[in-house]
Amino acid sequence: VLLRDISHELRSPLARLNVALELCRKRSDAEAGKALDRIEREACKLNELIEQLLTLNRVESGISGHEKTQIDLARLIHEISEDADFEARSTNRSVKFISRDECSIEGNEDLLRRAIENVARNSVRYTEEGSTVDISLCRIQGNGSPRGVITIRDHGSGVPEESIPHLFKPFYRAERGRDRESGGAGLGLAITEAAVRLHDGTVQAMNADDGGLIIEITLPILSRNIQTPG
């Protein structure tokens, strides 16, 4: 509750800061504009951090019954993949949804979207330039109820093995390029883990044998798929 209240209180002065920033731009010269650009970038980072803190607080607070719906998981991941690919192409990278099984899940679509998007965008950030982030969705039966396995794999340098158990902790950053400058606020994967756990799922990370990081999200799915009209 304290974290939520602090995050909300930070939004008002940040909004006033952005207004003041725009007023300064109208009255400044080109040299001052460089400093104002830096202020704007830092303000954006702060705004993102506040948003992530509020999301993490919401996830940790749980989901009420009326927030749950039946979700076509394949459709959701397809949308996320297309959005991530659009963003990735600006940095000479791409995202492909390489294989899918039809899966339906009961849950909160907004939180699941955020959870999967966080991993996809993280993978785009660290995959090598000119490479592809591969996403797949597989339906497995296993013992008991069926589960959907979402695999997101980049082609970057991976992370140190000792860092893998800590990747989903809030504010944790691994070494080797996944640092404070390029790694955002360090909350994205923590939000993913909390949202997945809230849906009775699990998430794990592993280094690929031939390079890159693999993140696997496993979620309980419905025994029967959603029947879409048409």
Catalytic residues: 8
Tokens of 203: 């998430």
150 in Cβ contact with 137 (< 8 Å) = yes
Helices (H), 98-162: 109-126
Run of H or E residues at 50: helix 30-61
Helix H or strand E encompassing 198? helix 188-198
Is the separation of the CB atoms in 150 and 136 below 8 Å? yes
Cα–Cα dist 195/189, whole Å: 10
Q: How far is CA 40 from CA 16, 43, 63, 149, 195, in A?
A: 12, 5, 34, 39, 30
